[in-house]
Each structure stands twice: as structure tokens, then as C-alpha cells.
Amino acid sequence: MKFKTMTLAASAVAFLALGACSESEQEAQEDLTEQAYESQEDLLEEQADLAEAQGDEATEEALDDKADAMGEAGDQAEDMVDAGQ
């Protein structure tokens, strides 16, 4: 299972690298920024789901709040890249 996950991750990175070649530098930066924040947001959401399954509502709510904040931060960062800052 671990090998399969690593293989999929490596394939995704290679695919993104090839795709970035056909994009402008700004588009590539936007994509990279978006993916970084989305990955962190997804991780926090999965941790919140685990906390919920374990009956830990306080941790779940805190993690959900962090995930929401990460999503908003990602949107802001992408807007900054888009604005050329």
C-alpha cells in the first residue's frame, strides 16, 4: 500500500511538472500555491474526521476551524500571486 501511494505521488509530481512547462510562470505559481494550501486543508479535514470517529468533538471542531482558515489563506495567497505581488 505504501509503495502504491508513493508511486501515485511521484506520478502526480511528474505530471504536474510536465503540465507546468506549457503554462506561464504565473499560472504555475498559482497552481503550486493552490495545491500546497489544498493539501494542508485536506490533511486537517482528515484529522478532523478521525477525531469525530473517535468521539472527540472539541478536537474535531478545532481542526475543522483550522482547515477552513487554511482554505481562506490559500485563496488569499492565490489572489496575491494572481495580482503579481
* 34: in domain: yes
* 47: in domain: yes
Count of domains observed in the chain: 1
Q: Which of 31, 34, 38 is nearest to 16 (CA)?
A: 31
* 10: in domain: no
* 36: in domain: yes
Q: Tell me which residue range forms the domain holding 70.
A: 24-83
* 14: in domain: no
pLDDT at 82: 73
CA atoms of 67 and 80, how far apart (whole Å): 20
26-75, pLDDT tens digit by residue? Answer: 888 888 888 999 999 999 999 999 999 999 999 999 999 999 999 898 88
* 43: in domain: yes
* 13: in domain: no
